[in-house]
Amino acid sequence: MKIKLTIAYDGTNYNGSQIQPSLPTIQSQLMEAFQRINIQTSFDFSGRTDKGVHAFRQIVSCNIPEYWNDLKRLTNVLNKQLPHTIQIRNIQKVDKNFHARFSATKREYRYLITEKKLSVFNSNYMSHYNNIDEEKIKEAISYFIGIHDFEFFSKKGSDPVSTVREIYNIRFYKYKDIYVLNFQANSYLRSQIRMIVDFIMKISSGKLTIKQLQEQLNKKKLISWTLAPANGLYLSKILYKETL
């Protein structure tokens, strides 16, 4: 029986979502929880998250024995086996052809920013920037929307077949004292969002300009390649055909 898990996690103490030898990851914790209740299976994640990145709704698909047909009970049993930093929000039975990654049509990420000084209680969950210029940020994000070759806005090492991606939308808004950058696309390059956020915030502070953004986006000149901190980034939603 094939199932779809919706999970949330605090990525602070994990070395990303995907399995890595001798390092704690979201996948390794999930695998251990399943093995403790005698389920041997393999997992497909909707997307990879880096070290320190969080998730509201990561999607994972896998196969389980037919006798685990009480999925509410399975959810409760697994959550008791998982650390408090990982929680299964829901488990659903899906068609055998469903794949958490390849069946996805849209992926949404949020990046959280504040001007307020961070405390020991929130420093792992948002990034701090001074003197945020809302108008400059709104102008900057408009240039990233659409189809572009994002080679100069991605971290090297993953060797994708193509560095062309389409960003459907970027929303920027404020909720109380937190600024939110919400990205929606089909897929992303390695560290693409964090590099875009870093560039946008440099424009906000006056360190970089819109002209320099255009030069880098058009691959005329690599101007900035640093990343915004991982702790401000959240995988927030995965959309599939049946949810559109």
Which residues carry out catalysis?
A: 50
Contact status, residue 98 vs residue 4, Cβ threshold 8 Å: yes
d(CA 44, CA 100): 6
d(CA 1, CA 12): 32
Q: What are phi and psi of 91, to 5 degrees?
A: -130, 130
Residue burial 208-239, b: 16+ Cβ < 10 Å; e: rest = beeebbeebbeeeeeebeebbbbbbbbbbbbb
d(CA 48, CA 232): 16
Going by their DSSP bridges, the two strands 104-114 and 127-128 should be labelled as: parallel
Contact status, residue 70 vs residue 15, Cβ threshold 8 Å: no
